[in-house]
Chain A
Amino acid sequence: MWTVIGVGYWSIVRPDLIRPTFAFVTGVFEDLLGGAPLGLNALVLLCVHTAGASQKRLFLRKSFFFWWFLFSFIALFAILFKCFLFALLADTVTRLREILLSYCLTVLIYPAFGRLFASLEVLLAKEE
């Protein structure tokens, strides 16, 4: 779910830098390296990118807590979609407690990554 944070953030802030193709390729690499069914994370990250980029207006000029709040919905969508696809591909249902744990961890660590990415964004803006 680390990649969901990155793709989710940058698809809103700089969709010109993180293209759908980039999100897709990241997902394919995650699948190949992590051992997940091929195409699973690719499709999830692609949808996260599309959701983030299309809802850009909703996020702009809002407080950090609002970002966090909205990200929790994107992460929820991502993990539920992943569960659905995984159930189809691996013929098994994942344990709810583990899904919840993974989701909560992703949402809880978001502020740390969000701050880091915000600083990086300022640096990028200065460079340009």
Chain B
Amino acid sequence: MKPPAGHVSRLMAFRLWLHRFTFLTLMMIAFGLMVLGKADTLLVDRLRAGIGDAFTPLLEILSRPAANVAILVENVRHLVRLRAENTRLHEENVRLLHWQAVARHLEGENHALRSLLKVVPGPTASFISARVIAVTDGPFVRAALLNAGRRDGVRKGQAVVTGAGLAGRVDRVGSLSASILLLTDIHSRIPVVVTPSRNRALLIANKGTLQLIYMIGDGPIAPGNRVFTAEDAYAFPPDIPVGVVTHVKDSRIEIQPFVQPSTIEYVSLVDYGLSGILPDLPFKREK
């Protein structure tokens, strides 16, 4: 039996009202979440870590085909430039053999001088290797998710490195996963030292480029100077390669990082036992 026309229109009106109400409610919840994200970062971080843990097995499975495709593309690229690469490697090998001799000489000299001066050795680092299972490399956020977490010994603040240099730092730690804040994220702040001048500065990402701010030291800075992590504030282990100075104009110094975040697949987390980055506060506060 068909319902009367008046009932149908009332039903339609109710559905329309419900639809509008849903939209408004969800919009208000979204604004509420934004306020919550600003007000209680600890709770949101816990939530992110929990969601990261829950999705880690799925993302790990999904990331494997993507990684295989990336390897395939890279292999094809290598094949194309095999001849040129071979010549370059031959030249590099000759150069490196020379540097090897220099390094051995310096190593011996360094050892002799250290024993002469009774230098206290620095802390030894321990490494945890992990696979990158998701990368967010957009205009708004630059972060990556790793398949190692608290149970593997990952701690907030650990430096994240690849073979080329520093990639970022551990930002959030879940039980099975950890999120890293890449160097190129706008919230990234890395204490660095520029060589050979030994000027100290803070490396930040500003509108897509890495820049040095709060420079301490009067030494000259020129394109080609190398930038390493500094031990300031005990946040990072010293002397991890970060990048190279590409552009110097007035007070604006731009850096090209050694690590391209979008291409990282495996990373090492360096733990020197430093305490500069504050750990998360305990979730349940004592009354």
* Chain B associates with chain A: yes
Minimum CB–CB distance from B18 to chain A (whole Å) comes to 11
Minimum CB–CB distance from B185 to chain A (whole Å) comes to 8
Interface centre among A29, A95, A102 (most CB of B within 10 A): A95
- A contact residues vs B (CB 8 Å cutoff): 1, 19-21, 24, 27-29, 31-40, 42-43, 46, 50, 82, 85-86, 89-90, 92-95, 97-99, 101-102
Among listed B29-37, B75-83, B103-111, B119-127, interface-contacting one: B29-37
Cα distance, A76 to B59, chains bound together (Å):
29
Q: Which residue of the partner chain A has the closest CB to B37?
A: A38
Contact B207 A94 (CB under 8 A): yes
Cα distance, A46 to B29, chains bound together (Å):
11
Minimum CB–CB distance from B14 to chain A (whole Å) comes to 16
Give 1 or 0 for each of B36-75: 1 = CB within 8 Å of chain A CB: 1110000010011001100100000000000000000000
Minimum CB–CB distance from B91 to chain A (whole Å) comes to 35
Total cross-chain contacts (CB, 8 A) = 94
Judged by DSSP, the binding face of B is helix
**CB-CB under 8 A for A38 and B44, given A29-B51, A43-B31, A92-B186:** yes
- Taking CB atoms and an 8 Å cut-off, the chain B residues in 193-225 that contact chain A are 207-208
Contact A99 B31 (CB under 8 A): no
Contacts of A97 in B (CB 8 A): 208
Contacts of A21 in B (CB 8 A): 22, 26
- Taking CB atoms and an 8 Å cut-off, the chain B residues in 127-143 that contact chain A are 134, 136, 138-141, 143
Contacts of B33 in A (CB 8 A): 28, 31, 38-39, 42
**CB-CB under 8 A for A35 and B37, given A24-B26, A24-B29, A43-B31:** no
Contact A33 B52 (CB under 8 A): yes
Interface centre among B29, B31, B134 (most CB of A within 10 A): B29
> Is B147 interfacial (CB 8 A cutoff)?
no
> Is B234 interfacial (CB 8 A cutoff)?
no
Q: Which residue of the partner chain A has the closest CB to B38?
A: A89
Minimum CB–CB distance from B285 to chain A (whole Å) comes to 21
Cα distance, A33 to B59, chains bound together (Å):
10
Contact A98 B34 (CB under 8 A): no
Minimum CB–CB distance from B136 to chain A (whole Å) comes to 4
Contact A90 B23 (CB under 8 A): no
Contacts of B270 in A (CB 8 A): none
Contact A35 B22 (CB under 8 A): no
Contacts of B44 in A (CB 8 A): 38
Which 8 pairs of residues, A with B, have the shortest CB-CB distance? A38-B37, A39-B33, A98-B139, A39-B34, A35-B143, A43-B30, A95-B207, A95-B208
Minimum CB–CB distance from A51 to chain B (whole Å) comes to 11
**CB-CB under 8 A for A35 and B30, given A89-B38, A93-B207:** no
